[in-house]
Amino acid sequence: MSANRPAPPEPRLAVTRPTRGRLRRALAVALPVPVVGLVLLMASGHLMLPLQNVVTIEAKMASKRDFFEDPEVERLLLKHGFRVHITSMGSREIANQDIKGYDVVFPSGQPAADLITRERAAADRPATTYRPFVSPIVLATYREYADALREKGVAERQPRSGDEPLYYTLDMGKFLDLTKAGQRWDDIGISRQGVRNGNKILAQSSDICEANSAGTYLGLVAFVEYENDAPDTEPEAEKLARRIKPLLVEQGLPSSEKAETYLSADGKGISPIAVIYEHQFLAHQIRYEAEHGTPDTERVLLYPSTRFVTEPQLVALTRDGDRLGDLVATDPELQTRAMELGFRVRESGSDATGDQLADFLGERSIPAPVTSADDTKAVLPRLPLLERMIQIVGDCPPSEGTQ
C-alpha cells in the first residue's frame, strides 16, 4: 500500500467577531457594575484604602465604646487611616489591669483616668489625655415612677417641659431619705400610676467594682450623706462607706450594663431606676424619633439636684494613640457625630460645651434638658479615699495599679 497518501488538513479555530451593535449592548450591561462600585467607594472614603497604611489601634474602653462602635464613626476613622480594635471592660477594671500593648484606654470618668496617669507618671511613662466630650450621670426611669416621686414631693418637672416632660429634677436628699426609711414603691402610691411594685426605692447601678458610673454615683450619695462635703481622712471615708452601703446595694449589685437593661423591653420590671449616662438616653431618643417621628415619652430622666458631670478621658499611651486622640478631639465630622450620639461636645480650645446639642435636638422636636445654675455641684472624695470606699461598698479586691 502506498505511504504517500496526502495528510488531512488541520482544523481551524473560527473567531466570531461581534457586530458593533452587540458590542455596545454588552458594554452597556457590564459597565454600570464597576462604575457604581467606584462611586460607592469614593463616597465611603474607601477608594484609596488599599493604597494607604491603615493603623489598627488597640484600645481598652468602657461605656464610651458606644462612640467608637458606631458605624459612621468607624467610617470616618477609616477615612483618616485608623481602625480601632476594642477590648471592652469597666472603667475600674481598665485602671486596675495591665495596659501593656495598648495604644489608648478610655475609661468613662476622671477617677479611673487619674489612676492610670498617676501610675504611668510614677514609672516615668507619661500619658496624654484628651477630653472630647462630656456626659452627666443621670437616673433613668419611667414616667409612672417619676410621677409617683413628683406626687411625693421628691421630684419636679423641669420648667416649661409640657404635659409629658422627658426630664425631672430629683431632690437627692429626699430620695435617699425614702431608701433609708425602707419605703417601697407601693408605699408611696405607685398604684395610682397603674403600676404595682413592692421593691424598695433606690437607684440601681452597674457593678461598682467595674463601672465608673457606679463609682460616681457612690461619690454622689456620699457627698449628700456627708452634708454636701467629702471626707478628708481614711477613717472618715471607711465609716461613711459602711453607712451608705445599704443605699446602694440593698437589692444587690447587678453586673450588667444598666443602660442596656433600661432600654430593653423588660427594663421597667427589672430596674425601675437605673444609673446611666445622659448620652445613652439621648441617643435612644434620637433613634426613636427617627423611626417613629416622635420622642419616646414612656422613658424619662431624673437629674439629681446635686450633680456631678463626668469627665471621660481618652488616655493615649503611644504615638498612634496620640494621633487618634487629637483627631477625635478636633475633627469637625467626628465632633458632629458625637453630638448626634447624644454627647455634649466641647467647644474648640475650651472646657465649655456649647448649644449645638440643644439645637440638634430641637430640630428633631426632642426637648433638650436644662441644668440649673442653682444645683449643688458634688465633689468626689480624693482618689485614694474613693478607691477605699468602692472596695468597702462593693466588697471589691484592692486596686493593683497599672503595669
% of the chain exceeding 90 in pLDDT: 49
193 part of a folded domain: yes
369 part of a folded domain? no
Q: Same domain for 124 and 224?
A: no
Question: Do 177 and 293 lie in a common domain?
Answer: yes
Which residues, listed in sequence order, are joined to residue 82 by a DSSP beta bridge?
55
* 118 and 185 co-located in one domain: no
Do residues 334 and 390 both lie within one domain?
Answer: no
Question: pTM, whole model, 2 decimals?
Answer: 0.80
* Amino acid identity at 100: K
User: Does residue 38 sit within a domain?
Assistant: no
Looking at the structure, do residues 116 and 128 belong to the same domain, yes or no?
yes
Structure confidence by residue, pLDDT tens digits, 228-286 = 999 999 999 999 999 999 998 765 445 557 888 898 887 787 889 999 999 999 999 99
Residues 328-343 have pLDDT tens digits of 999 999 999 999 999 9
Higher pLDDT, 257 or 394: 394
In a domain, 230, yes or no: yes
Hey, how many other C-beta atoms are within 10 angstroms of the C-beta on 229? Answer: 13
> Do 299 and 382 sit in the same domain of this protein?
yes
Short-list 192, 243, 245, CA closest to 214? 245
Separation between Cα atoms, residue 44 and residue 36, nearest integer Å: 12
Do 72 and 82 fall within a single domain? yes
Q: Which amino acid is at 28?
A: A
Q: Which residues pair with 275 in a beta bridge?
A: 139
Over residues 299-318, the pLDDT tens digits come to 999 999 887 766 788 999 99
Give the pLDDT score at 213: 86
Q: Can you name the residues that pair with 314 across neighbouring β-strands?
A: 130
Is 249 contained in some domain? yes
Closest alpha carbon to 311 in 137, 127, 115, 108: 108
- 289 and 195 share one domain: yes
Mean pLDDT computed over 13-35:
48
101-131 pLDDT tens trace: 999 999 877 777 887 888 888 777 888 899 8
Angle at Cα 309 formed by Cα 332 and Cα 221, nearest 5°? 160
155 shares a domain with 93: no
Residue 396's CB is within 10 A of a number of other CB atoms, namely: 18
Radius of gyration of the chain (CA): 29
- 166 plus 58 within the same structural domain: no
Q: In terms of domains, do 265 and 344 share one? A: no
Q: What is the DSSP letter of 368?
A: P
Contact 357, 133 (CB under 8 A): no
- Cα separation, 62 vs 59, whole angstroms: 10
The CATH number covering residue 73 comes to: 3.40.190.10
Containing structural domain, residue 171: 137-310+374-394
Is residue 160, in this structure, part of any structural domain at all? Answer: yes
Amino acid type, 326: D
Let me know if residue 267 belongs to a domain: yes
CATH no. for residue 233?
3.40.190
Q: Are residues 146 and 268 in the same domain?
A: yes
Number of folded domains that form the chain: 2
Domain membership flag for residue 401: no
Confidence band, pLDDT 50/70/90 cuts, at residue 32: low
* For range 191-216, the mean pLDDT: 90
Q: Which residue has the cell 488597640?
A: 58
